[in-house]
A and B are shown apart, each in its own frame.
Chain A
């Protein structure tokens, strides 16, 4: 079975500050990992993904995440927050070993950016 834990349901940062959103996963096989962003009244949009290549993954809008197997973590970071980054962020894990691998989502972290 696989699961995702996002520590901190709400994170607030000042504009220009570092963004750090935490994600820990549990999986019985080497996983694929994803970060998605959801803006109000919209569906989820992929930010970045880890698919067993480079452990440091760069995504859209200046976000990046590092896969740390020893810590079973895939934290999302951005050096400098922008007002437009305010949204809800979801971490997800999937099993690449089956053609119809199931994805499991965390409960999300709401990011607030203060001026």
Chain B
């Protein structure tokens, strides 16, 4: 079974630039998550999709972050414009249902200079 795929693995940008991350979940998984993991902290949920609908985006900074999940499969997370404090690892995960175990991708390490 193929795992959760993410790209790119690393990204370095200047502040005020924009960046996009891509995630392909495990086939058949209805729930998809985007997390932000700052060094030394646990994953913080940014947005949770159930199929292609948003279940929870309460911690997503909507003035600069946006996310979509096309046709209930792949998802993209965008930051525009980026700030220094956005430097973090962005993890994508998927699960069969929201309360099930989550399967994580390798993450994208973002550095904002």
Q: What is the interface of chain A, defined by CB distance below 8 A to chain B? A: 4, 9, 32, 34, 36, 41-46, 49, 90, 94-108
18 contacts across the A-B interface (CB closer than 8 A)? A34-B102, A41-B109, A42-B106, A43-B91, A43-B93, A43-B104, A43-B106, A43-B107, A44-B93, A46-B103, A90-B42, A94-B99, A100-B55, A101-B97, A101-B98, A102-B48, A105-B35, A108-B41
| Contact call B104/A45, Cβ cutoff below 8 A | yes
Partner of B98, one of A90, A102, A104: A102
User: Which residues of A are found within 8 Å of B45, using beta-carbon distances?
Assistant: 102-104
Instruction: Determine whether the beta carbon of A43 is less than 8 Å from that of B4.
Output: yes
How many residues belonging to B are interface residues under a CB distance threshold of 8 Å?
27
Q: Which of A41, A44, A99, A104 contacts B50 (CB 8 A)?
A: A99
Q: Given A43-B107, A108-B42, decide whether A34 and B31 contact each other with a Cβ distance below 8 A.
A: no
Give the complex CA separation of A108 and B40 in angstroms. 8
Write out, one digit per residue, whether chain B residues 18-50 have a CB within 8 A of any chain A CB (1) or not (0): 000000000000010101000011111100101
Residues of chain B lying within 8 A (CB to CB) of residue A102 = 45, 48, 55-56, 98
B43 interface neighbour in A44, A46, A96, Cβ under 8 Å: A44
Interface flag for B85 (CB, 8 Å) = no
